[in-house]
Structures are given as structure tokens and as C-alpha cells.
Amino acid sequence: MSYYSGALNRAIEVFGSKERAEEWLEKMCAELGSAPKELLNTKEGYDRVLRHLHSVDLALHMD
């Protein structure tokens, strides 16, 4: 599995649709300093994106 497809699968879980996940991967993210997809060419970048997605998931699902 490529880093992009792994991040996309996780983003779909967080955002609920492939369309929203792909949109998120393309958008500039201030916390990451770039669009998430731009970080997915290295394991370190992939790990940063997954950690950020975890934070987003927690924020979206706080009850």
C-alpha cells in the first residue's frame, strides 16, 4: 500500500467519504505546513499526516 492510499483510507474513516478525504489531502494545512498529500513521499511525512488525522478525528468526535 502506498503512503497516499494509506492516508486516504484513514482520512475516509475520519471524514466519512472519499470525496471529503481527497479534498482534505489536497488543501493547505497550517498545522502541517503544506497540503497533507505533499508529505506522503516519505515515511516520516506519512507518520505526521496520520498523527494529524488522529488529532482531527478526536476533535470531530468529542462528546
d(CA 26, CA 21): 9
CA pair distance 60, 41, nearest whole angstrom: 27
Query: 10 Å Cβ neighbour count for 49?
Result: 26
Q: Would the pLDDT of 63 be above 90? A: no
Judge whether residue 23 has pLDDT over 80.
yes
Instruction: Name the domain count of the chain.
Output: 1
**Domain coverage including residue 33:** 3-60
What pTM does this model have? 0.92
The neighbouring-strand residues paired with 34 are: 29
CA distance 38 to 15: 19
Beta partners for residue 29, in sequence order: 34
What pLDDT sits at residue 49?
98
Sheet strands (E) in the chain: none
